[in-house]
């Protein structure tokens, strides 16, 4: 991690974040998950709300953002809304470092854990998060609402689940 630096997102980062998400999402096409690969990233106004609330972090490499993470608070946990890393930086543990940043933030906020929703069978989703200490859980009320929204968006065409990591 010596050449990488995690920091709070800044307004000057906002236009880079959708590009990172789109680049990272292209990997889903190789699995036949074109709906996911073509999903529109969050808009600048939505991203700005995360930034303004102190719930957005980026990882820099070569003085530019190459990954980012957004967090919501759902049912007393820090909920990872989005984490994306540019494909050319995969395998360098940057996603893990961003998740650890979210965990540090959650501890500071006195939250109980980290949660997320993910694809169970996609190697860089369910199995990856299991390697980071997340376990599948029955959805809490807030997670159930998130899952309902995901299903309405067509994301349940592939097996999904809710995960939690205690802090």
Model pLDDT for residues 88-102, shown as the tens digit of each residue = 999 999 999 999 999
Model pLDDT for residues 94-142, shown as the tens digit of each residue = 999 999 999 999 999 999 999 999 999 999 999 999 999 999 999 999 9
Where is 143: in which H helix or E strand?
helix 141-152
CA dist 33 → 38, 56, 61, 152, 154 (Å):
9, 27, 29, 16, 11
Kindly state the tokens that stand for 133.
């200490």
Instruction: Quote the CATH superfamily of domain 4-166.
Output: Gcn5-related N-acetyltransferase (GNAT) (3.40.630.30)
pTM reported for the whole predicted model: 0.94
Cite the beta strand spans of the chain per DSSP E. Answer: 4-8, 56-61, 64-74, 77-85, 113-119, 135-137, 160-166
Q: Would you list the domain boundaries of the chain? A: 4-166
């Amino acid at each position: 991690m010596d050449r990488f630096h995690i920091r709070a997102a800044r307004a000057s980062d906002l236009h880079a974040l959708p590009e990172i998400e789109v680049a990272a999402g292209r990997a889903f096409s190789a699995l036949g998950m074109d709906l996911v690969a073509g999903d529109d990233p969050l808009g600048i106004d939505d991203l700005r709300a995360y930034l303004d609330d102190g719930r957005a972090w980026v990882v820099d490499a070569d003085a530019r953002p190459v990954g980012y993470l957004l967090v919501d608070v759902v049912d007393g946990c820090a909920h990872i809304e989005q984490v994306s890393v540019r494909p050319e930086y995969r395998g360098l543990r940057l996603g893990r470092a961003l998740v650890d940043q979210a965990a540090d933030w959650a501890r500071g906020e006195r939250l109980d854990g980290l949660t997320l929703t993910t694809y169970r069978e996609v190697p860089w989703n369910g199995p990856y998060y299991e390697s980071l200490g997340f376990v599948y859980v029955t959805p809490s009320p807030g997670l159930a609402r998130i899952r309902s929204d995901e299903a309405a968006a067509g994301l349940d065409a592939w097996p999904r689940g809710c995960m939690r990591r205690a802090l």
